[in-house]
Structure formats: C-alpha cells, structure tokens
Amino acid sequence: MTVPTYQIGDKTFRLLIKNDVLKQKAKELAERINQEYKDKNPILLPILTGSFMFFADVLPHLTIPYEINFVKVSSYGMRMTSSAAPRALMGLLLHLENRHVIVVEDIVDSGKTYQFLSNKLKEMKVQSYLYTALLVKKENVSDEIAIDWMGFDIGKAFVVGYGMDYQEKGRHLKDIYQLV
Ligand code: IMP
C-alpha cells in the first residue's frame, strides 16, 4: 500500500496521523477537561495559528462552562531551520489572575514557547494552568519541560496539516503529514 504524500515546493511530506485518530485525541482531551474543571470555569488559551483545527475538534465535546481567549506568541526567525525565541504574547484580553487556565498548543518543538508562556502565566498569578499540546517532539525537548497533557510524541519530525504549516502552506490538510 502506498502512503499518501503532499508536496509543498520541493518538499515532500508523507501521511503520519489520520484525521479520525486526531479527532479521537481531541475528544480525550475534552473528557479530561470535563472531569477536572467542572466547577472551575476555566479560561481556554488556544495558541494561534496552528492549534485552530485541533481546538475546533475539542470544543464540541466540552460539557462545562468555560471562557476563551485566543492568543498568539510572536517570535523572530524562520521555522524548520531554527527555533526562534518567543518575544511577545499578543491578544490577551481576559484577566488571568486567580483563574484556572488551559493552554492548547499545536506542537511543542524546542519548548521555548512552553517556557515563555509558563513564565508569563506564573507572573500573572494564575491559580493553576494545564499545558496541553497535540504533538510533542520528545527528542528535542529537555526533561524540565513538563507538558501536562500530550496527544502524540513525534520524535523530531517536521509536520504540516491539521492547522500546522510550512511557510503558511498545508494548514488546510485534514491529516498530519511528516517531512520526508
Ligand atoms: P517551540 O517554541 O520551539 O516549542 O515551537 C513551538 C511552535 O513552533 C508551535 O506552536 C508551532 O507553531 C511551531 N512549530 C514547531 N514545530 C513545527 C512543525 O513541525 N510544523 C509546524 N509548526 C511547528
């Protein structure tokens, strides 16, 4: 059986995780949130842009009240060649002090975004935070990076699809593809 591929410029990506498996993970995360945040009215903090499709699959399964604030973490530099240091948190409108916050990231690569956001949340004196990521590149992150909930460990693969891009291409794909 041939594995489906997707081409972006001279880069070939091949199918890694199918949409039904991704949707199932999204449901699992929602179930955990339903159990642990029943009376906590958490603030969901999806990180744009990459998490939008995963997040959209989580939401219909949530049965508890919540608030949402989409945020963006800006950085310099180009993906795939190096991991740029995050510089600013953009779009935060809600007050997080004393609140239970749930971060939803698409993918943890070097863990710099994780470290940047974790520090910010502590500075803002949140009551608690749960750091969730659909994908983690375990081969890249150091041991002190403690992701609270992870969908899949993808080693060190570079991926596109299901919201994630290579130079803004490939976000629309329903499945996740890995760079060959
Ligand atoms: P980190 O700060 O190095 O952990 O990078 C995290 C961010 O980089 C993610 O939220 C993604 O937006 C982006 N990123 C990291 N790896 C990939 C990848 O393989 N494909 C697409 N985007 C990625």
| Digit-coded pLDDT (tens) for 153-174 | 999 999 999 999 999 999 999 9
Ligand 1 atom nearest the C-alpha of 166 is 21
- Residue 90's DSSP bridge partners are 72
| Digit-coded pLDDT (tens) for 64-112 | 999 999 999 988 655 555 567 888 999 999 999 999 999 999 999 999 9
pLDDT of residue 84: 75
Compute the distance between CA of residue 7 and CA of residue 88 in angstroms, rounded to an integer.
32
- Residue 129's DSSP bridge partners are 101
Kind and range of the H or E run holding 121: helix 112-123
Catalytic status, residue 143: no
Pocket-forming residues, ligand 1, beta carbon under 6 Å: 47, 50, 79, 83, 105-114, 158-159, 164-165
For the four alpha carbons of 99, 149, 110 and 47, in that order, the dihedral sign comes to negative
Share above pLDDT 70 across residues of the chain, in percent, rounded to a whole number: 96
**Full DSSP string of 53-75:** HHHHHHGGG--S--EE--EEEEE
Helix (H, G, I), strand (E, B) or coil at 160: strand
* Separation of CA 38 and ligand 1 centre (Å): 31
pLDDT of residue 7: 98
Compute the distance between CA of residue 96 and CA of residue 67 in angstroms, rounded to an integer.
11
